[in-house]
Amino acid sequence: MAKTFEFGAFMEKFILQPISSPQQLPLSGLTFAVKDIFDVDGYVTGFGNPDWKRTHSVAISTAPAVLDVLKGGATCVGKTVMDEMAYSINGENVHYGTPTNPCAPDRVPGGSSSGSAVAVGAGLVDFSLGTDTGGSVRVPASYCGILGFRPSHDAVSTSGVIPMAQSLDTVGWFARDPVVLNQVGHILLHLPNTDPVRPSQIIIPEDCFSLSSIPSDRTIQVLLKSVKKLFGDQIVKHVALGDYVKEKVPSLQHFMSKENEDHVYNIPSLAALSSAMRLLQRYEFKNNHAEWVTTVNPNLGPGLYERIWDAIRTPEENIHVCHTVQTEFRAALIALLEDQGILALPTVPGDPPKLHTDPATLEVFRARAFSLLSIAGVSGFCQVSIPLGMHNNLPVSISLVAKHGSDSFLLNLVETLYDTMKEEAGIAETNV
């Protein structure tokens, strides 16, 4: 089957030609793929599970986000494999096969937008569309050594996209080239081209970087040297984000557990933030999909089965507190970043896990990952994951987060920083 020749990235191949226009279009000549969560007229949206595909009809329209990039001049070449019901950040799928990580074939590609990331990382397309609720663009971008952008919440239409948890769902995208990432962003966000704006401050949360197993000279130092070259180091500010969040987001007390306080591997306030995000995600997933899951009783892969049924059984208690947390946390981050501020973060807390790792052994890693991923998830801020080369033959990345609605600013900043960061990452790689 053709899938094996293309890193197992695709569910099905087809061609959707760009919507014709007399003028030269910004995405002309570029190819893209879409995660199998987007409606495409004439195809069943499979949602990563054969029972879902079997029990649903063909789509009768195409998702606006897909139409936008077709109108922008790009050509769609197919739909990509995803984790079942978008409920994993690993990228493994027992039904359709796990797309092969082009950077590290013995490691997971990251999910749930696994095939979309692999298609870009392997050079099969110029860019791709995915979705990011709890980390499903940022994580696979990091694991596959490419750029991944999660936009501000509600900035890109999620119409014609199967919902996971609407308070957190976003349409994101992947690219290898920062110029392409920016061009696609301006099309999807319906933004005019603007000149780059100098960041007012780059905030380095030392506690968040301490969660990462990657040496700081491969992450923070690469960013700091690049910022110093381009903007000067006077804009750099170091903070303890966990302490700041604990003080400014009092409603997180509802999610502070003895377990969170005891473990040395986490930041208690961010572990609580992650708990709030995951509760909200489970509750909204249940509202969206409980009827189908309980009626069909689908065949679900290991790990996914437990997670999905846990969500279906989620009680409604504390849901109102989740929304209070969102409001308080967003206000706290706005105050911290001010105008044109950037928060740097590890995208993930370490190397991509090996394929077929027992889910129980990944619990500490997952807990750390969601402490980091929940920052943009709960606030609704935009975040980009930027590759920083390889360390011990595995991909390394760093993330930048900007205020809600600052997507154009962040996309332009990536384009400005990228070559210098790539150069500094190369120097750090050879100094090992």
The residues annotated with a catalytic role in the active site are 35, 112, 136
Whole-angstrom Cα distance, residue 86 to residue 162?
A: 9
Starting at the edge strand found earlier in the chain, the sheet holding 382-391 runs: 10-16, 75-80, 31-35, 127-132, 170-175, 147-150, 382-391, 394-402, 341-345, 201-205, 236-239
Cβ–Cβ under 8 Å, residues 70 and 76? yes
What DSSP character marks residue 353?
A: P
Of 375, 283, 303, 384, the residue nearest 83 (C-alpha): 303
Other Cβ atoms within 10 Å of 361 Cβ, number: 10
Is residue 150 classed as helix, strand or coil in its secondary structure? Answer: strand
Closest Cα to residue 386, out of 353, 355, 342? 342
Longest dimension (CA), the chain: 63
159: CB partners within 8 A, 6+ apart = 63, 64
Residues 6 or more apart in contact with residue 59 via CB below 8 angstroms: 39, 40, 41, 42, 43, 44, 45, 160
